[in-house]
Structure 1
Amino acid sequence: MTPVLDTAIAPAIRSDIQARLDRIEADHDVRLLMAVESGSRAWGFPSPDSDYDVRFVYVRPRDWYLSLSPGRDVIETPIEDDIDLNGWDVRKALGLLLKSNAVVNEWIQSPIRYRPDDPFITKIAALADRVLDARALAHHYSRLGRDAADRWLDGIDDVPVKRYFYALRPALAIRVLRLHQGIRPPMNLQALVAMAELPGAMVSQIETLVAAKARTNERDNGARVPDLDRLIRDEIGRASDLPKPDPDARWRDEADKLFLELVNT
């Protein structure tokens, strides 16, 4: 599991988040399996005014899953003091994992964790490796990149630095999927850059952008970088280069067994 970046979150903020997570467990009668950062702080390019995007996976008592009327499979809380805290039921997370859902994969790999993982998360991570559909992940990142670059990538005007990164990170994820087939791409930008086999000059350009975003707010504009524009344009168009996987019904059976093991303990 990726190590915790203890210095990424101020101690007072971390303590506040942990207290809120404790209240969620008590108020909703759930057990948290993991609680992680999922936004720009974990992606490696925070701004001074970035929110704290806290995400968690939880399990309820066994009998809750036996009801004829299924309950909600998410817990959502209002944003308070820049802390956005929401989570998914483990059954929902496992179902999405079988589809190689990129969000679940990123939560599992987040470098910022707000409490120690339940041992069950190691089993989920191993399943995620076995069911990996690189093509599905690449198409997800292609959509993210296209949405983020919509209307500005083919122009010449300056764009908010935030938008640059929201297109660059998906492009690099696709590149890593192409170059290292069979490996889930990391969610952190710096880890992606390390695996993306980029020219040194381009790595320096990305580092300069990261430093600029750390000094500015989320909406400030930044100068265009033609090399990065070309990289984004090329990679978000290459999702279909990844091979189609063969369907395998074993993984659903394995996920069912994991789920039953969890709720019966």
Structure 2
Amino acid sequence: MNLPEGLMADVAAWHPHPRAFITISGAHLYGFPSRDSDIDLRGLHVQPLREVVSLEPGRDTHSRMWFRDGLEVDVVTHDVAKYCRLLLRCSGEILEQLTSPLIVETSPLHDELLALTPSLVCTGYARHYFGFSRGQWNQFGKENRLKPLLYTFRTLLTGIHLMRAGEVETDLTVLAAEYGPAYLPELIEAKRSAEHGGTPADLLDRDRFTADFEKLTARLETERDTSPLPDVPTCRDELNELVIRTRLAAVRE
């Protein structure tokens, strides 16, 4: 996607620390952006050692929201140590941000983390996709909005694919073609016309949605239980060394 002119200059002027990478997340990453979709930028920064060892350590997360050219921009970055801890805790959201193909800024540190992705992927990530999909499904039940409905199916299918193939795939158009349900392309097309719209009346079928939600939830459980993936990430030591090297390199610079 094309970012608004000057957006990353705004980020650079605001952000207090060097950034190892920034990628695009949200609806643009998931394959169903609308004309008024937010621009969600996520990434990793390196907190100075002086802040890390201080009696009053600085913030390890920086975030900002503002409007640029009529679109809401949401930026969140975490310090390298926090980011690695979140990966080890099997945060699917963080793994998706790391592996996003929509790269705005990158660095050798980004490349190092990407190289560790096969050792990060494990069945522990299924917990994220169970929990996130259930939360989005409950949200859809309250308001009949299309966005949480698509997020429900997107998270379930991403989780299923991760357990089956050991790779991160977040684009619902790709996932729908492989796993269904068959009506997802129609829902995606409806979403592209309005970010916060309701589910069109001619597509709203709660019984069908409920049956597919339950079926895919059960399939995610089965895929997790039969997956050859390890239970937890196997690169804790490598991530620890990466954090130490990154801190020491920042001191030398």
TM-score tier (shorter) = 0.7 to 0.9
Shift of 1:34: 0.8
CA contact (8 A) 1:44 1:188 kept: yes
- 1:4 alignment counterpart: none
Q: What's 1:168 paired with?
A: 153
Q: 2:55 aligns with which of 68, 87, 90?
A: 68
The residue aligned with 1:126 is 115
Q: Which residue of 1 aligns with 2:247?
A: 263
Letter in 1 for 2:144: V
SS in 1 for 2:175: helix
Q: TM-score, normalised by structure 1?
A: 0.79
Establish whether residue 88 from structure 1 lines up as the match of residue 78 from structure 2.
yes
Question: Cα gap change, 1:178/1:102 in structure 2, threshold over 3 Å: closer, same or farther?
Answer: closer
Offset of 1:262 from its aligned partner? 1.4
After superposition, what is the alpha-carbon deviation per residue over 1:24-77, rounded to whole angstroms, capped at 9, x for unaligned? Answer: 34xx1x111111111111111112221111112101233332323322110122
1:141 to 113, 123, 129: 129
Structural RMSD (CA)? 2.6
Deviating beyond 6 angstroms after TM superposition, the runs of 4 or more aligned structure 1 residues are: none
Aligned residues: 239
Give the secondary-structure state (helix, strand or coil) at the position aligned to 1:263.
helix
* Structure 2 gap segments, 5+ residues each: none
SS in 1 for 2:65: coil
> Aligned partners of 1:64 and 1:178: how far apart in 2?
38
Q: Residues 32 and 172 of structure 2 are in contact (CA less than 8 Å); yes or no, is this contact kept in structure 1?
A: yes
Pair 158,261 (structure 1): closer, same or farther in 2 beyond 3 Å: closer
Give the match for residue 215 of structure 2: 234
The TM-score, its normalising length taken from structure 2, stands at 0.83
Letter in 1 for 2:211: R
Partner of 1:112: 102
Query: After superposition, what is the alpha-carbon deviation per residue over 1:71-128, rounded to whole angstroms, capped at 9, x for unaligned?
Result: 211012233341111211111001111122112101112232222x111112112223
Q: Indicate conservation of the 8 Å contact 1:144/1:170, yes or no.
A: yes
Identical counterparts, % of pairs: 23
Instruction: Point out where structure 1 has 5 or more consecutive residues left out of the alignment.
Output: 1-7
Deviation at 1:143, TM superposition (A): 1.1
